[in-house]
Amino acid sequence: MQEISSIVSTSAPLLAAGRRMRRTPYTARVEAAGCRVFSVYNHMLLPEVFRGDVEDYHHLKTHVQVWDVGCERQVQIRGRDAASLVQRMTCRDISRAVPGQCLYVPLVDEQGGMVNDPVMLKFSDEHFWLSIADSDVLLWAKGLAAGLRLDVDCREPAVWPLAVQGPKAEDLVARLFGDEVRRIRFFRFATLAWQGHPLTVARSGWSKQGGFEIYVNDWALGERLWDACFDAGRDLDVGPGAPHNTERIEGGLLSYGNDFDNGNNPFEIGLEKYVHLDRDIDFVGRRALAAIRERGVTRRLMGVFIEAMQLPACEQGWPVFAEEQRVGEVTSASVSPAFGEGIGYAMLDRSHWNEGTALDVLVPGEGKLRARVTPLPFIAPRPS
Ligand code: THG
């Protein structure tokens, strides 16, 4: 049953409802649209599969999908010291960002460990959002602000992003918000009205198929906007979708908690281009990252091709061997229709991270599968 390979077990128990398992404004529509598998992300429901893993993949790459990514929580930082706090949280230089710009900003702690990898939205020098991956950034921000006695207010505003992704996304979003959306460049945002409601619309999203993210700031608008997407996009073959594991691995996008966590530094996971130690910026973990750069890392996240036509979900990390010696672990993997075999990420020791290195991956239920190292991303981005 390829299309439900992402569930935890075949006798799947159900998720208990309750206020800790937060719904989004779109959850009822997602259920009605036939969502078959949910995950939990930032203590919130995240749909994963609709028609099936492979069907959803081809649909995303051909048409346009509407994604409930309400779980991408916004950590809002406002106040006189807002820019100073955001800069202290990230190793990337944010000083040249302008209002209306998004930046992918690795957050690091005092040891250089990854805290999160959000998208930053800059509204002004005194107003930022961090659109976070799955870790509790609000508490880290509040802790830093309190410890450093900064003049900021940190909170999670009532905002639930809705993503529209796929090659026809621009046409669909333009039907809702007007042709102005076509002028929004990659990783820029504008405030555009939908039925009289000003909404933040960014050209971004966790796929390489192009698209937008609409930051819906009113719970009651959620179902109306969801319905409007489906009404406006019927002839575009719009469908429900979700961040897709295979497509994002092909494109080289990383998943906090799966491919890396607080135990990894940005150099190990290919984010060194966002470590701006040569700039005159003040961030927590600066000394730690300088020391790590000096020492050099001993393991790195690489791509791996895995000789397989089916793979289970990567629940625990799969051990990687070279001639019986343990040299790393696979962190995410999936069979790629584009490559006709398994693709994935593996954290590999320095002795075995070179392109072309032959490996064996121990996959539960499949035994040892042959694999080989390849650089990331699997599919180079189209020029934008
Ligand atoms: N959009 C928004 N919030 C998010 C995500 C998102 N929060 C959670 C998660 N995704 C955060 N992680 C990422 C990882 C990669 C990217 C965005 C968020 C991404 N990276 C591009 C790349 O790597 O090619 C662009 C990086 C750049 O040019 O700066 O898009 O998807 N709102």
Q: What is the mean pLDDT of residues 235-252?
A: 98
The closest alpha carbon to 230, from 218, 243, 239, belongs to 239
Amino acid at 109: D
Judge whether 279 lies within some domain. Answer: no
Judge whether 94 lies within some domain. Answer: yes
Amino acid at 353: W
Which pLDDT score is estimated for 111?
Answer: 98
Which pLDDT score is estimated for 3?
Answer: 47
Structural domain span for residue 373: 299-384
Give, using CA atoms, the residue closest to atom 25 of ligand 1: 104
Using the predicted structure, report yes or no on whether residue 224 has a pLDDT greater than 50. yes
Which pLDDT score is estimated for 9?
Answer: 59
Judge whether 294 lies within some domain. Answer: no
Pairing of strands 114-116, 119-124: unpaired
**Domain final position from 128, 155, 182:** 155
| Joined tokens for residue 30 | 């997602």
Same domain for 100 and 56: no
Tens digit of each residue's pLDDT (9 = 90 or more) over 64-117: 999 999 999 999 999 999 999 999 999 999 999 999 999 999 999 999 999 999
| Joined tokens for residue 184 | 């929004």
Given pLDDT bands bounded at 50, 70 and 90, which one contains residue 15? confident
**Domain final position from 134, 155, 176:** 155
Judge whether 129 lies within some domain. Answer: yes
Determine if residue 268 is left, alpha or beta; phi over 0 gives left, psi from -120 to 50 gives alpha, anything else beta: alpha
Using the predicted structure, report yes or no on whether residue 16 has a pLDDT greater than 90. no
CATH number at residue 347: 2.40.30.110
Give, using CA atoms, the residue closest to atom 5 of ligand 1: 206
Same domain for 170 and 58: yes
Same domain for 32 and 133: no
Pocket of ligand 1 (CB under 6 A): 72, 103-104, 117-119, 131-133, 161, 187, 204-206, 213, 253-254
Helices (H), the chain: 27-32, 53-62, 82-89, 137-147, 169-177, 221-232, 245-251, 286-295
State the chain's mean pLDDT as an integer: 96
Quote the CA–CA distance of 230 and 251 in Å, as a whole number.
27
Which pLDDT score is estimated for 8?
Answer: 62
Same domain for 190 and 63: yes
CA of 104 to the centre of ligand 1 (A): 6
Judge whether 174 lies within some domain. Answer: yes
CATH number at residue 164: 3.30.1360.120
Q: Indicate the top mutation candidate among 74, 104, 254 to test ligand 1's pocket, ranked by most ligand atoms within 8 A of CB.
A: 104
Same domain for 91 and 168: no
Q: Number of structural domains, the chain?
A: 3
Q: What is the mean pLDDT of residues 264-276?
A: 98
Give the position, in ligand 1's atom list, of the atom nearest the Cα of 252.
Answer: 23
Using the predicted structure, report yes or no on whether residue 63 has a pLDDT greater than 90. yes
Give the position, in ligand 1's atom list, of the atom nearest the Cα of 134.
Answer: 8
Judge whether 13 lies within some domain. Answer: no
Judge whether 198 lies within some domain. Answer: yes
Give, using CA atoms, the residue closest to atom 32 of ligand 1: 131
246, 344 in Cβ contact below 8 A?
Answer: no
Same domain for 189 and 137: no
Using the predicted structure, report yes or no on whether residue 193 has a pLDDT greater than 60. yes
230, 73 in Cβ contact below 8 A?
Answer: no
Q: What is the mean pLDDT of residues 205-231?
A: 98
Q: What is the mean pLDDT of residues 30-45?
A: 96
Q: Indicate the top mutation candidate among 68, 248, 253, 345 to test ligand 1's pocket, ranked by most ligand atoms within 8 A of CB.
A: 253
Same domain for 231 and 92: no
Using the predicted structure, report yes or no on whether residue 1 has a pLDDT greater than 80. no
Same domain for 78 and 67: no
- Sequence-distant (≥ 6) Cβ neighbours of residue 239 within 8 angstroms: 50, 51, 59, 63, 64, 65, 66
% pLDDT > 70, the chain = 96
Give the position, in ligand 1's atom list, of the atom nearest the Cα of 251.
Answer: 24
Same domain for 180 and 37: yes
CA of 322 to the centre of ligand 1 (A): 33
**Domain final position from 155, 172, 199:** 155
The closest alpha carbon to 248, from 74, 53, 81, 102, belongs to 53
Same domain for 232 and 117: no
Q: Give the DSSP H/E element, type plus range, for residue 76.
A: strand 74-78
CATH number at residue 94: 3.30.70.1400
Tens digit of each residue's pLDDT (9 = 90 or more) over 336-372: 999 999 999 999 999 999 999 999 999 999 999 999 9
Judge whether 261 lies within some domain. Answer: no
Which pLDDT score is estimated for 2?
Answer: 41
Same domain for 178 and 150: no
Q: What is the mean pLDDT of residues 311-337?
A: 97
Same domain for 114 and 63: no
Give the position, in ligand 1's atom list, of the atom nearest the Cα of 255.
Answer: 12
